[in-house]
Amino acid sequence: MTNSSTVSALAGKAIQGRRVISCATDFPPSLPSICSLYRPVKMSLLSLIISLLIEQARPLPETVWGRKGWVTRYADFVERRFNAGEATHGLIGWLVAVLPPVLLSALVFFLLYLVQPLLALAWNIFVLYLTMGFRQVSHYFTETHVALRAGDIATARERVGSWRGRLSDRMSSSEVARVAIEEALVASHRHVFAVIIWFILLPGPSGAVLYRIAAHLAREWGGRNDPEFGDFGVFSRKAFALIDWLPTRCTAVAFSIVGDFEDAIYCWRTQATRWPDVASGILLSSGAGAMGVRLGMPLHETGEVVERPEMGLGDEADADFMQSAIGLIWRTLVLFLLLLALLWVASLVGH
C-alpha cells in the first residue's frame, strides 16, 4: 500500500508539472493562456478577409500613406529632430519612429482580447485596413490598362508617369505595359502579401504595422542621398532589406506556384541579381517567368534611354499581359488565404 501511494503521488506531481509547462490555462486562472493570447489562426483569417473586403469597397485614401499623408508627416517630424547626418542618428530615429506604434498596436490587441475577443478582432481589422490593400495604388494600373485598350497612349503614359513620379512621355505602348506590370507586381507584394506574412508572424496587428512603417521609412529616408540629409537613411534601408527578406521569397514562390513554375524558378535563379534592387529583381523575375512575359529592358524615361536588364522570358508586354498580371495577383492572394485556412483546419484537428 505504501508503494502504491508513493507511485500515485509521483504521478500526480508529474501531471501537474506537465500542466505548468504546456501553456496551461490555469495560471493565472482569470487570464487566457499565452497560447490563446497569441492570436488564433481563425481570427487571423477572419481579420484578413474582412479587411480586404472593406478595402475593396472603400479604398484607403492617400491621406494616410501618400507623399503628403500623415505617416509621411510623422516620418518628417522624427527626421527633423534626430537627423544630424550620421548613420547612428538614423538608427535612433528609426527605433523612435517604429517601436512605439508597433508596441502600441500589440498592447491594444492584448488588452482588448482580455476584455472581449471580438474587440480584438475589430482592432485587427481596423489596423489591417490602414496597412494593407492593393486598391491604394491600383487605380493607376486600371486607368493605364483602360487607356492602352482604347489606344490612348498619351493618357496611358500620363497615368503610369504619375504612378512612378517620373516623366514617361516618350514610352511606347509596350514600355508602358511593362512598367505598369512591374509596378503592380512590386506594389502587390509591398501592400498585400508581405503585410499578410508579417501579420501572421507577430502578435496582433503589430507585424503589419512594423512592415508598412519600415517600408515607408526605407522609401522616405533610405531613398535620399543628398548631402544635407547625410547617412541618416542608411539604417532604414538596411533594416527594411532584412525585414523584407523572407516575405519577398515567399511571394516569389507563390507567383511560381500559381503561374508557370518551371520558368518562374529559372528566371528567379538566373536573372534576379541583375536588377539594381535584388528584392525587386526576385519579384519581377519570378512574376515575369510565371506569366511568360519579358519585363525590364531599355526604357525611354526623363528624356533619355535607361538601360535595364531583361526580366522573364516569352512575349513582349501589352494590355493582354496586364490582364494576366491581375490574374496572377488574385491567384496569389487566394493561395495565401487558402494556406491560412489549411492552418486553421490543422489546428482544429490537432485539438
Q: Compute CA distances 273 → 243, 270, 286, 306, whole Å.
A: 19, 8, 12, 18
- The number of beta carbons lying within 10 Å of the beta carbon of residue 233 is 24
Q: Compute CA distances 192 → 103, 134, 197, 254, 284, whole Å.
A: 21, 6, 9, 13, 16
Q: Look at residues 279, 255, 248, 265 and name the one whose alpha carbon lies nearest to residue 328.
A: 255
Q: Which pLDDT does position 16 carry in this prediction?
A: 43
Q: Which pLDDT does position 209 carry in this prediction?
A: 97
Q: Where are the beta strands (DSSP E) in the chain?
A: 293-296, 299-301, 304-306, 310-312, 315-316
Q: Which pLDDT does position 245 carry in this prediction?
A: 97
Q: Which pLDDT does position 312 carry in this prediction?
A: 95
What distance in Å separates the CA atoms of residue 100 and residue 53, rounded to the nearest whole number? 28
Q: Look at residues 93, 39, 324 and name the one whose alpha carbon lies nearest to residue 229.
A: 93
- The number of beta carbons lying within 10 Å of the beta carbon of residue 328 is 23
Antiparallel, parallel or unpaired: β 299-301 and 293-296: unpaired
Q: Which pLDDT does position 351 carry in this prediction?
A: 62
Residue count of the chain, please give it: 351
Where exactly are the structural domains of the chain? 33-350
Q: Which pLDDT does position 257 carry in this prediction?
A: 97
Antiparallel, parallel or unpaired: β 304-306 and 299-301: antiparallel
pLDDT by 10s per residue, the chain, length 351? 444 454 444 444 443 443 333 443 443 434 344 344 344 678 889 999 999 999 988 888 777 787 778 899 999 999 999 998 898 999 999 999 999 999 999 999 999 999 999 999 999 999 999 999 788 778 889 999 999 999 999 999 999 888 887 777 789 999 999 999 999 999 999 999 999 999 999 988 999 999 999 999 999 999 888 888 889 999 999 999 999 999 999 999 999 999 999 999 999 999 999 999 999 999 999 999 999 999 999 998 877 888 999 999 999 999 999 999 999 999 999 999 999 999 888 877 766
